[in-house]
A and B are shown apart, each in its own frame.
Chain A
Amino acid sequence: MLGRLRILFRGLARGRSAVIGVPYLWLLVFFLLPFLIVARISVSEMENVAFKDLITFKDGLLQLSLKFSGYRFIAEDSLYFDTYLRSLKYAGATTLLCLAIGYPFAYFMARARATVQPALLMLVMLPFWTSFLLRVYAWKGLLSENGWVESVIVGSGLDHWLVAAGLIEAPGRLMNTPFSLVLGMTYTYLPFMVLPLYANLAKMDLRLLEAAADLGATAWVAFWKITVPLSKAGIIAGSMLVFIPCVGEFVIPELLGGPSTLMIGRVMWDEFFSNNDWPMAASVAVVMVLLIIVPLAIFNKYQAESQEGRR
């Protein structure tokens, strides 16, 4: 026994175990354990400030008590359900907008002269390095009264269209609406869409397009039948990078959204900090993670398949 322990310790002292062990232990303690605590609290009963034990041993009986009222409440109460739905809706709209703006952007970037491409790439990344909080704050100025963008939109009468589309409530009031929220999220996450798409489109074999032209396809047909299908991996990667953080976004709705754009991150925040209902906040968090895991699993499956196909 002692001898085996000594061998174990000698093994641990070797470099390999330390290299693996340090980050492994770090992640177990600061990532997995906290999440298990959240999962546990989400099914716990709260007594004053302490949690009841989940497993109790009484009168020779082992009792396991789980409280699912938080989850039942989320499923039944329309506030939570609507908020989840709204978060998914805004995240989806942002993803589509980023794709609509970002795909042509990445496409033209990838087809620009090879000498200017690094500079263009640098220009896309540079805003990413300056504070995201301050850039979101800047939109507050641009969209409020007399702001540059507000002047252009109201001056051109575009705000009436936005009212008709249901994105703002009254002409001339752009801030704290679904419009300002989605605009802010699109702005923030656009580089996350452009970068993977650019990486994908820049690698494309342009001879395929020549071949298509030789076979009589117009540029437009060749674009839809060759370029777009080949960039599917980039489209999916970019969409995931935009959609997933948008669902749980907290800062942008706080600064640019309003009472009508309540999102799930804020609801969780309020349950914890205002209502002090920890089990409820934990339940909201667990459901949020489950919502995100589904698209992520699809993404991973797709990536595994495309890697399989490449081999």
Chain B
Amino acid sequence: MNAARLNRWFGRGWLGAGFVFLYLPIVALVLYSFNDSPLPNVWRGFTLKWYAALPADSEMLAGLWLSLKIAFMTACGSVILGTLAAFTLVKYKRFMGRTLFSGMVNAPLVMPEVVIGLSLLLMLVSVQRAIGIPERGLMTIWFGHMLLGMAYATVVIQARLGDLNPQLEEAAMDLGAKPHQVFYLVTLPMITPSMLSAWLLTFTLSLDDVVLSAFLSGPGATTLPLVIFSRARLGLNPSVNAVATIIVVLVAIGVLIASYLIARSERQRTLEMAAANRA
């Protein structure tokens, strides 16, 4: 009995220590963004001056705007490509080169980002030499992020698609629905929560990426992580803390709202299913 209680407290202690480890940097980041001191690690009272300085920081603002644009485009493109790829992997068990396809879908997940960045850049340069376009910038970063985003989106959507009850689609077909109607009326509504998760995941991945952007960006196309990275390399910088705090707060709100919405729609669906089963 005593041993069991000891075990329980040890478990709680370990979990607590682990969460302190996970959250300590975030707490420090937020707290020191309000620090009124030229020395970054010495606390000298509360201030908002780092936030007040942000609207004048044109480099940071331009980076943020570019990053948001790329992240939005990446998330949309990745979800479309990811849905198609997940559909292919789940529904079509036999077609030419399926092994190659499933290998290529998952490979970007385990490839080091520096290798993906280098290979895309070398191809880009070869194409540029041949036909003169494209310039490095928003478009090239977008394509690079989409390559990675598609892999993540496929994993998320594939998991959901694999769990679906095939009888629902069969029933729709028996009732005379055409294949595209089955997709839009039956399959799509059921995988929407996972598509939403995939969208959010790829959006944050793109908003956070340093390595691919560094390889694929050109003059005048500096994303927010590249700005932060170049400042962080030089040392501690309170303006980075201020930006970090804003991002942390926005992400926390976004994730909470999204998980609430997803949980609610899941619950509603289970209720509807239960009602349908009873009837």
Q: Which A residues contact B (CB, under 8 angstroms)?
A: 15-16, 19-20, 22-24, 26-28, 30-35, 37-38, 41, 101, 104-105, 107-109, 111-112, 120, 122-124, 126-127, 129-135, 137-142, 144-149, 187, 190-191, 219, 240, 244-245, 247-251, 254-255, 265, 268-269, 272, 278, 281-282, 285, 288-289, 292, 296
Interface size class of B (residues with CB under 8 A): 35 or more
Closest chain B CB from A39 CB (angstroms): 9
Which of chain A's residues have a CB closer than 8 A to the CB of B105?
Answer: 23, 27
Q: How far is the CA of A101 from the CA of B21 in the complex (A)?
A: 10
Closest to A278 in B: B122
Asked whether A281 lies within 8 Å of B15 as measured between CB atoms, the reply is no
Query: What's the minimum C-beta distance from B133 to chain A, rounded to whole angstroms?
Result: 15
Do B25 and A23 have beta carbons less than 8 Å apart?
no
CB distance A24 to B97 under 8 Å? yes
Which of B118, B244, B255 makes the CB contact (< 8 A) with A138?
Answer: B244
Q: Please, how many angstroms separate the alpha-carbon atoms of A141 and B41 in the complex?
A: 7
CB pair A141 B11 closer than 8 Å: no
Inter-chain contact B112/A245, CB cutoff 8 Å = yes
Nearest residue in A to B85 (C-beta to C-beta)? A23
Select which of A38, A107, A147, A292 is within 8 A of B110 by beta carbon.
A292
Q: Which residue of A lies closest to B22 (CB)?
A: A127
Interchain residue pairs with CB less than 8 A apart (25): A16-B92, A20-B92, A34-B119, A37-B119, A108-B11, A108-B12, A111-B11, A122-B259, A129-B251, A131-B208, A132-B208, A133-B228, A133-B229, A137-B240, A142-B24, A144-B41, A191-B22, A219-B7, A244-B110, A248-B113, A250-B210, A255-B232, A268-B118, A285-B114, A285-B118
Known: A41-B122, A251-B211. A134 touches B107 (CB 8 A): no
Set B14, B121, B251: member contacting A130, Cβ < 8 A: B251
Residue of A nearest to B154 (CB): A23
Contact between B255 and A126, CB atoms less than 8 A apart:
yes
A109 touches B115 (CB 8 A): no
Q: Of B12, B41, B111, B232, which is within 8 A of A145 by CB?
A: B41
Nearest-Cβ distance from residue A218 to partner chain B, whole angstroms: 9
Say whether B244 contacts A131, CB under 8 Å: yes
Q: Are A105 and B244 in contact (CB under 8 A)?
A: no
Complex formed: what's the CA distance from A149 to B122 in Å? 42
Does B147 belong to the interface (CB within 8 Å)?
Answer: yes
Q: How far is the CA of A31 from the CA of B225 in the complex (A)?
A: 24
Counting CB contacts under 8 A, is B180 at the interface?
Answer: yes
Q: Known contacts A244-B110, A247-B112, A292-B110: does B247 contact A130 (CB below 8 Å)?
A: yes
